Structure 1
């Protein structure tokens, strides 16, 4: 059955690859971009399959108008993809207040707001797919991208909680968590904090990105195909990792976390109240979290 997609950040990078893949599959797309003239070539090729929608995702009042515009045009939204975002590198203390705010406003708050704008329509139609483009950096921390990853951790956690809320409404939520892909994430889409002496690891990472040496293994066209297939899957995952680099990085981090957990287990368990000792899995608090 033909689907209607609402994709943010559709003019470049993964968003562009996904928009093209969705259109090629025969589905329709409300494609948002700050500069919709960048979509002219796709409009010429696909005509009424594509609705360009001007949107800066940090203009939260405009978000609701853009969603309403898409529904008025196509009659529904079946798949929401929150893809708009950008990277930033630097030492945590070096970021300006504006850099911190812009990261959170674009990469986290906008994801939440666009989702909130679309949910009433999906709730009424009792169906929908939501894909939040997070990052492997939403599952593990890396020096030099702390503010970016703070936002992406938020997206991954938000998506996991939301998935439990809306499943009974026929809505499925997936946090898409790519590793490095050959987009302009480390190119034109990357910004930098002012350089501070002493942060050798962070500064070398910034130099690595700036020097153009970052050549990831991920193919955005293949990621787009995986996401198109995901929209048709009967039981989509809550977390979908994309790329072999991301798989290896996460496996290594999980091993380190498990080792740390075991090393400090005695301290963790020592903090229970004596009234509940030995009764962990029967507590109402635990039942509420395990009952998914």
Structure 2
């Protein structure tokens, strides 16, 4: 069977892959980096704060390259990818993981708050994709895995519209990029996790709008419940998500690589429920929807 991983292995001198991971100082990125290094892979890990990154990842081996990167700045991203290829000679798997959420309704959201959320969650990811593309095209191999969310497919979360919007954008850009890179032997997947137990709902990764309008009490309660009840009780194990990702990049035939990978039973169930609702809407409106041609 034609496995992309086996092709990559045939072009390298050892049995380790080179990973490039953004947002590696906490959350999923930290767990992924730690476990990949334990498994003997090489990891280029990026963060806005290299001191925090080095403190989070206690590894002084030659397999670990921690880099300070401002994802919103193209030169910073381009320089980090140049450093990665200079160090390891190639990049096999990109995991665009960096991101944060801002809670607040659409009416409460300021223009600057929304744009800042897109700068990291979406435009920062695109900067990596744009500058890693020539590296992967030249190799004629590799994976780009964009960490989205079930909120990038199911958006009916009050007070989380901005976050969901950034992740819907991630999914749309990923689909287009996947079609563009396919002829070069590069595979691209959007990962849509459900609730996984990380620091994501802590104050360092979960902000709130400065403006709050009393009329949105129900939305505010939904947001507060995530801070106080969901945070720390998520059922998803980040280490097990990495197991799924490694199975994807190591064991999946090229023609079986999914465009969307929903991870976690909650994500799978919510995705199926939305697909069912969409199918019903399509059926109800089928005749009228088809009546619009000249």
Structure 2 unaligned blocks of 5 or more: 1-14
Q: SS in structure 2 opposite 1:195?
A: coil
Superposition TM-score, scaled by structure 2 size: 0.89
CA deviation string 1:94-149 (max 9, x = no partner) = 01222101111111111111111101011011111000000111111122211111
Asked if the contact 1:80/1:130 (under 8 Å) is kept, the reply is: yes
Asked if the contact 1:77/1:128 (under 8 Å) is kept, the reply is: yes
**Distance in 2 of aligned mates of 1:270 and 1:213:** 45
Q: SS in structure 2 opposite 1:127?
A: coil
Question: 2:151 maps to what in 1?
Answer: 137
**Distance in 1 of aligned mates of 2:97 and 2:116:** 15
Match of 1:227 among 242, 245, 252: 245
Q: 1:251 to 1:55 in 2, by over 3 A?
A: same
> Superposition pairs for residues 62-81 of structure 1, below 5 Å?
62-81=76-95
Match of 1:45 among 42, 59, 63: 59
Question: 2:287 maps to what in 1?
Answer: 266
Superposition TM-score, scaled by structure 1 size: 0.89
**Distance in 2 of aligned mates of 1:261 and 1:204:** 33
Question: 1:195 maps to what in 2?
Answer: 212
Length, aligned pairs only: 273
Question: 1:208 maps to what in 2?
Answer: 225
CA deviation string 1:195-239 (max 9, x = no partner) = 212223311112212324442211111112221222213332111
> Superposition pairs for residues 68-107 of structure 1, below 5 Å?
68-107=82-121
Q: Choose 1 or 2 for highest CA Rg.
A: 1
Asked if the contact 1:21/1:225 (under 8 Å) is kept, the reply is: no
CA deviation string 1:44-103 (max 9, x = no partner) = 535100000101211222111111111111111111110000011111110122210111
Question: 1:151 maps to what in 2?
Answer: 166
Question: 1:245 maps to what in 2?
Answer: 266
Please tell me the root mean square deviation across aligned C-alpha atoms, in Å.
Answer: 1.5
